[in-house]
Amino acid sequence: MKLTYRIAGVVLLATAVLFASGCPQRKSIGEIEADPSRYNGKSVAIAGVVKTSYGLSIPLIKEGGGIYKIDDGTGSIWVISQERRGVPTRDTQILVKGKIRNGVIYNGKNYGLVLMEDDREFIKN
């Protein structure tokens, strides 16, 4: 009986570790902006408020997407959505998961830092 509990415990622990390792690490936008090369191409999760958004959705065609800017109090970042589901509206609280992409770096400052959206969740107040 004790062996069954030990095996079940090990299986449960291994499952939890595998699940946690597959989730992107949540970061602040300020952390990402402070060292963008460290996060370039890596999956992260950020939460904040949508400040502005621009989207395009063409009816009857599977094309669409858009861009929106979120702010978490430590900084702001543009998020590129390539999904047909559109973009969130202004003042929406959101959690976004995706990969960081660097833009142009000039004189030690990064211009064009974006998050390529993989998934998003709306945060309820």
Better-predicted residue by pLDDT, 45 or 107: 45
E-strand spans in 2-63? 25-26, 43-57
Is the pLDDT confidence value at 111 over 80? no
Per residue in 52-100, pLDDT tens? 999 887 776 667 789 999 999 999 999 998 776 788 999 999 999 999 9
pLDDT by residue (tens digit) across 18-49? 444 456 788 999 999 898 889 999 999 999 99
Domain assignment present for 77: yes
**Domain residue limits at 97:** 25-122
pTM of full prediction above 0.85? no
Q: Is residue 89 part of a domain?
A: yes
> Would 8 be classed as within a structural domain?
no
The number of distinct structural domains making up the chain is: 1
Model confidence at 106, pLDDT cuts 50, 70, 90, reads confident
